[in-house]
Amino acid sequence: MATFHWISIAYPSLDINANSWYNPSLNMVAAEAVVTHIFLFLAFYFEVFLLVSFLERKLFVKRALVIPTPLNADAHPHVCIVVPCFNEERTIAHSLESLLALSYTKEKLEIAVVDDGSTDKTYEVALRYAHDSRVNVFRKEQGGKHTALNMVLSHTSAELIGCLDADSTVDSRALLRIVAAFKNPRIAAVTPGIHVRNPRTILQHLQRVEYLLGIFNRYASAGLGSIYIAPGPFSIFRASTIREVGGWRHGHSTEDMELGLRLQNTGWIIANDPRAIVHTITPKNLSALIRQRVRWSYGFLRNVLDYRHMIGSPTYGNLGLVILPAALLSFGAALFFAVLLVWHFAQSIADIISRFLLVGAEPLAPTSLFFFNTSFMWLIVYATIALTVILISLGSFLSTGERRLPYSTPLFLVFYSLLTPIWLGIALARAIFNTGVRWR
């Protein structure tokens, strides 16, 4: 009876009593209400959990905003940055110029450009920079990003090895900041703060907000020891550790996620410095965005399946007990709410058509501009939206020192959640039928 009372408060239009439980239609509505409240509460709880974890790291936040003390040339470790590229003739020059502008001892920096079977002039453009002693240009048959990284790993003597996607540019002090973190011998990798480079389309501006939220989430996850993705734009690794765990793998076209999970699985730490700023080009149109996110989401499902022993295991700390279960729940929740939205929209259309056929056109019911739904469910929704805005602001603050929100934040909050279920649904179908995804 307590459950019926709780649902009736949230859904006051329902006439629920003990006898109504035997009504299959009302039973389904009640179950829908329960699941909806559970998902909303978990989303709110997880955001509060991340925010509290962040606030507990105030000291580290202050440190993150301080530029590390420059090391003298002798103290700089030898670093190799790999730039794997396939048909990147229009972006590779900007990436290489940003690497050559890094504030780092020239003798300790190696840049390895690997043309992975490009069919355009990527190789020729890269060769223009080979006159610099730091740059080596290689050409190989197309085998995927992981093969390019492993090829360089097997030849370099660098202590640290990193990757910069050929459509990304890096801030001049990013490497100095990241290298400083490797003073901790337990750290195997350090991830940067990734921003959208020169957003032009509405979709890119929405992604700009998403990336700011991602900066906060990655920083908070680092504090919990739970980063499981070392993204392509300028993540730096301890070379000996990568050799120890077996190098990069295909990882269902998401080698950065597979390696992150493998490092966590073997007990290494992945750190984050949000002030090591990298800018990356993001998809300009919807079809390109969906293709990219289907690959990411498919890779998440397949890699989590491969490392399913970590889920719920206290051996892996917050990653196993909180972060991975929360990621899976958010995946399911997004699809649940999408199906719910489509179902209720279809029901509303059918109801309108039915009434029109019965009684003809009806005047629209008057609505009040001052109406504010204060049901329990909507209060959770309002609180979750407010927290999301706070986290976006904190993501901006961590990386740039400014709390100012992008102008596209309201559009992101309204529309982006409607797009997400599209690629999640496609990825889930492909994961179930094991059809795979292609990088290009």
CA distance 50 to 200: 31
Residue environment code for 323-342, b if the CB has 16+ CB neighbours within 10 A, otherwise e: bbebeebbbebbebbbeeee
SS3 67: coil
| Residue 56: both structure tokens together | 């507990």
Q: Tens digits of per-residue pLDDT, 417-431?
A: 889 999 999 999 999
What percentage of the chain reaches a pLDDT higher than 70?
A: 86
pLDDT at 361: 63
Query: In which residue are the tokens 């700390």 written?
Result: 317
CA distance 154 to 1: 66
pLDDT at 364: 61
Between 28-37, 158-167, 308-317, 397-406, the lowest mean confidence (pLDDT) is in: 28-37
Q: In degrees to the nearest 10, what's the CA dihedral of 232, 260, 61, 69?
A: -70
What percentage of the chain reaches a pLDDT higher than 90?
A: 67
The answer to whether residues 140 and 115 touch, using CB atoms and an 8 Å cutoff, is yes
Contacts of 270 (CB under 8 A, 6+ apart): 187, 188, 189, 190, 191, 222, 227, 228, 230, 260, 263, 264
Domain coordinates of the chain in residue numbers?
Answer: 68-285
Conformation bin of residue 194: beta by default, left when phi > 0, alpha when psi is -120 to 50: beta
pTM equals: 0.88
The pLDDT-based confidence of 72 (bands split at 50, 70, 90) is low
From the list 60, 396, 398, 391, the residue with the least C-alpha distance to 225 is 60
Taking 60 as the threshold, does the pLDDT of residue 60 lie above it?
A: no
CA distance 417 to 5: 31
Exposed/middle/buried for residue 373 (C-beta within 10 Å: 0-12, 13-18, 19+): exposed
More confident residue, 191 or 383: 191
More confident residue, 366 or 70: 366
From the list 44, 47, 43, the residue with the least C-alpha distance to 392 is 47
The answer to whether residues 294 and 248 touch, using CB atoms and an 8 Å cutoff, is no
CA distance 241 to 227: 17
In CATH, the architecture of 68-285 is Alpha-Beta Complex (3.90)
Query: In which residue are the tokens 């979709």 written?
Result: 203
